[in-house]
Amino acid sequence: MTSTLSIQDLRVNVQDKPILKGVNLTINQGEVHALMGPNGTGKSTLAYALMGHPGYTVTGGKITFDGQDILGWTPEERARRGMFLAFQYPIAIPGVSVANFLRTAINSRRRALDPQDKGIPIPEFRKLLKSKMEALQIPVEFGGRYLNDGFSGGEKKRVEVLQLSVLLPKIAIMDETDSGLDIDALRIVAGSVETLSGPDLGILVITHYQRILNYIKPQFVHVMYDGRIVEDGGADLAVKLEETGYEWVKEKYNGMEKS
């Protein structure tokens, strides 16, 4: 069965201020969507709300995953069921090594699929981790380091994609995975996401630049402005935005009915 994440007329407040003002978006497993838009228009807010961050209050609308209302699910439950969020600003988790974090996360996903699951055998996990780390050119010692603790910006992004590649979620939301990556790292990181994309993975890539979309090719491009998705198109829309910027979007949608 193809999984579907459906967002209907979603309204979200941050500290009592309305930020999302009616977002509609449907992402099916196997589809690649890009979300673009000027700074401060609500893209990260959407990502956090999707993952159930407690600071983002849903005041209206619906989010469903395979038809089930997810608003009552904790962030852990959402992850167990196959949703994945790569943060724009990843947090450090001192005391938890990358390898332990990943093994716990894998086992949690496995148990969601089969409550009797005994967990991934350690040798199998080591082999999996080694091959995925090699593909992302992450040095072996990173497995033993505390998650994101003292990682450089680019190292954090690589480790996020490592998480994605071992967890194999159904829907992944990637908030500015391309920011802070050097040219080679962008190629490696975006190239690995590209190899993961396929019928089993739905991706929402939040980005400011068309360049990552040369690797992770979107079928759908959406533009967010003032808390709503105001334009939808194909890959050509991202190319157009790169050339024209957002002035025309601002002019067209400025003074939209406030609600």
Ligand X SMILES: Nc1ncnc2c1ncn2[C@@H]1O[C@H](COP(=O)(O)OP(=O)(O)OP(=O)(O)O)[C@@H](O)[C@H]1O
> Is 153 a residue that touches ligand X (CB under 6 A)?
no
Six-digit token string for 165:
């590649």
- Work out what residue 19 binds among Mg ion, ligand X, none; the CB cut-off runs from 5 to 8 Å by kind: ligand X
Residues, the chain:
259
Count residues contacting Mg ion (CB under 5 A)? 3
Among 3, 44, 177, 207, binds Mg ion (CB under 5 A): 44
Count of C-beta atoms within a 10 Å radius of residue 137: 12
- CB of 42 vs Mg ion, minimal distance in Å: 8
Q: Which stretch binds Mg ion (CB under 5 A): 43-51, 195-203, 212-220, 241-249?
A: 43-51
> C-alpha distances in angstroms, 239 versus 189, 190, 210, 236?
21, 18, 6, 5
> Is 44 a residue that touches ligand X (CB under 6 A)?
yes
> Is 41 a residue that touches Mg ion (CB under 5 A)?
no
Phi and psi (nearest 5°) for 208?
-100, -15
- Interface residues for Mg ion in 72-91 (CB under 5 A)? 88
Q: Is 12 exposed, middle or buried (0-12, 13-18, 19+ CB in 10 A)?
A: buried
Count of C-beta atoms within a 10 Å radius of residue 100: 15
DSSP one-letter code for 81: T
- Work out what residue 41 binds among ligand X, Mg ion, none; the CB cut-off runs from 5 to 8 Å by kind: ligand X
Phi and psi (nearest 5°) for 166?
-95, -25
- CB of 23 vs ligand X, minimal distance in Å: 11
Q: Which stretch binds ligand X (CB under 6 A): 2-10, 23-31, 38-46, 106-114?
A: 38-46
Distance CA 52, CA 229 (A): 20
Beta carbon nearer to ligand X, 136 or 249:
249
**Which residues of this chain interact with ligand X, rule CB under 6 A?**
14-15, 19, 37, 39-45, 55, 88
Q: Note the residues at the interface with Mg ion (CB under 5 A).
A: 43-44, 88
